[in-house]
Structure 1
Amino acid sequence: MSIIFMLIKHPLSMMIIIIIYTINICMMVGLINKTFWFSYILFLIMLGGMMILFMYMTNLISNKIIKFNFLMFIMFLLILMFMNMIFIYIYNDYYLNFYLNMNNKEMIKLNYNLLMNFELNMYINKIFMTNYNYISLMLISYLFINLIAIVKIINIKKGPLRIINN
């Protein structure tokens, strides 16, 4: 992935490569953790950073035309698919061999550990249970009010990137 990143010269193409790479990493992390919350937060943070970089790049670089190299694009997609296939093969093969080579005591111990892990995940899900709905709604409304206040505080005409002449 980094080899393709080194071959690209246009900053907007580099940002697209980083976003695709982030999506790929988020999918892999979500498959490993069995929950996609961490992946979702990681993707939102990276996408927010990319949006800020996109604003700076579109204002600072000239309007150069992006030269689209179809061969490079195909190579990038093939490398991405190959990495995903290897990851899925190794991940599934490891667990398949792990389960097939166990005896009865190890299976009971594994089931107990899985049950304890399930109970720990239930604590994470308690935030969204009916008893805690009011706290969740209060936090959501607080964040929304802060968003509105920040938008009202910022004066668009005195932005750092462009001078708007009216």
Structure 2
Amino acid sequence: MILALLTISLLMSINLMIMSHPVSFSLITLIQAIVIALLTSSLSYTSWFSYIIFLIMVGAMLILFLYMTSVASNEKFNFSFKILILSAMLAIIPIMVKTHDPSMFTTNSMMLKFLSEYHTENQMNKLVSLPTNKILTGLIMYLLICLIAVVKITNPLQGPLRQKF
């Protein structure tokens, strides 16, 4: 799986150099963020780091999308099916190689998967244990207060950030 994710990440990086439209840039960057989040989740014991990285990347993508729509709002988007077919064919190659691996279905890999899930469960218990549960509760309360403050600060009568003329 790691080989397939690395190959898809490499293909998305190559496609990023080919693209010329901001919408295609943002789409490829979003796919790249998902692939990187999956890759870091598969390489670490917990998936919290990958969730945080993904949320930061998606937040940055929203800001870039807002900037892009204000700068190049009426630009025509041309979609190239040749690049899509080339990328799909190159992405299928590592998946086909991995499915023919006989060690994928052995009992040792099943036992390793079970042990890694058990270890991840123990890691999650540390998050809500006695010393750190106060920090977690404080973080939840802080995020709730920030959400309420943002809702109270914004004025719904003024409408969206970008005015339509």
1:7-27 deviations in whole A, cap 9, x for unaligned? 111011101001101111211
Q: Say whether 1:44 aligns with 2:55.
A: yes
TM-score, normalised relative to structure 1 = 0.64
Q: Say whether 1:145 aligns with 2:145.
A: yes
Alpha-carbon spacing, 1:121–1:15, altered in 2? closer, same or farther (3 Å): same
Between 1:40-49 and 1:62-71, the stretch displaced more is 62-71
How many residues align? The count is 144
Q: What is the alpha-carbon distance in structure 2 between the residues aligned to residue 81 and residue 150 of structure 1?
A: 45
Q: Is the Cα–Cα contact under 8 Å of residues 46 and 123 in structure 2 kept in the other structure? A: no
Alpha-carbon spacing, 1:15–1:7, altered in 2? closer, same or farther (3 Å): same
Cα offset, 1:36, TM superposition? 1.8
Structure 2 stretches lacking a partner, 5+ long: 1-10, 109-114
Alpha-carbon spacing, 1:138–1:62, altered in 2? closer, same or farther (3 Å): closer
Cα offset, 1:51, TM superposition? 0.6
Relative contact order higher in (CA < 8 Å, ≥ 6 apart)? 2
Q: How does 1:69-88 map to 2 (within 5 A)?
A: 69-82=80-93
Match of 2:39 among 28, 44, 50: 28
Structure 1 stretches lacking a partner, 5+ long: 100-113
Between 1:44-53 and 1:59-68, the stretch displaced more is 59-68
Q: Say whether 1:68 aligns with 2:79.
A: yes
Aligned residue number for residue 10 of structure 1: 21
Of structures 1 and 2, the larger Rg is shown by: 1
Amino acid in the other structure paired with 2:19: I
Q: What is the alpha-carbon distance in structure 2 between the residues aligned to residue 155 and residue 6 of structure 1?
A: 41
Q: What is the alpha-carbon distance in structure 2 between the residues aligned to residue 10 and residue 127 of structure 1?
A: 43
Between 1:120-129 and 1:136-145, the stretch displaced more is 120-129
Match of 2:68 among 57, 60, 64: 57
Identity fraction in percent: 38
Q: What is the alpha-carbon distance in structure 1 between the residues aligned to residue 138 and residue 51 of structure 2?
A: 22
Aligned residue number for residue 126 of structure 1: 126
Alpha-carbon spacing, 1:79–1:43, altered in 2? closer, same or farther (3 Å): farther
